[in-house]
Structure 1
Amino acid sequence: MAMTLRIDDELERALAALAEAEGTSRQEIVRRAVLERHARSGHLTRVQESSARLLEQWGDVLHRLGTA
């Protein structure tokens, strides 16, 4: 699937530098960046959901510890 991406000069310089440093294409740099961002986003959601469950289960204990 093809896609056109419009970028400014700053992003062009950054892409070119990363591609050269990593020995890969600018397309691959963008691809990796999007996939990494997606993975981090999913991780953050899982952490927030887990924190909410733990807070619901242990919130009273944590509150007592915090005010002791």
Structure 2
Amino acid sequence: MAMTLRLTDEENARLDELAAAEGRSKQEVLRLALNDRWARMHKEEQLGEVLGRVLPRYRALLDRIGTV
């Protein structure tokens, strides 16, 4: 899908610098950044789900450790 992205001159310069440093196209740098951000978001969601299951199980122990 085609898309138009409007960047400030400073953002475009940063993108140019990243692309040159990594030997990638600007498009590839942006796609990788999108994928990285998406993966981090989903890892945070997964962590929240795990903590939601684990913390209640160990709440008493955590409370005792917190008061030591």
Q: Give yes or no for TM over 0.5.
A: yes
User: In the alignment, what sits opposite 1:50?
Assistant: 50
TM-score calculated relative to the size of structure 1: 0.91
Over the residues paired in the alignment, what is the CA RMSD in angstroms? 1.0
C-alpha separation between the residues in 2 aligned to 1:10 and 1:59? 48
> 5 Å matches for 1:23-62?
23-62=23-62
Post-superposition offset of 1:16: 0.3
Amino acid aligned to 2:23:
G
**Would you say how many aligned residue pairs link Structure 1 and Structure 2?**
68
Q: 2:44 is matched by which residue type in structure 1? A: L
Q: Any stretches of 5+ residues in structure 2 without a counterpart?
A: none
* Aligned-residue offset at 1:30: 0.5
User: Normalising by structure 2, what TM-score?
Assistant: 0.91
Between the aligned residues of both structures, percent identity stands at 43
Deviation at 1:42, TM superposition (A): 0.5
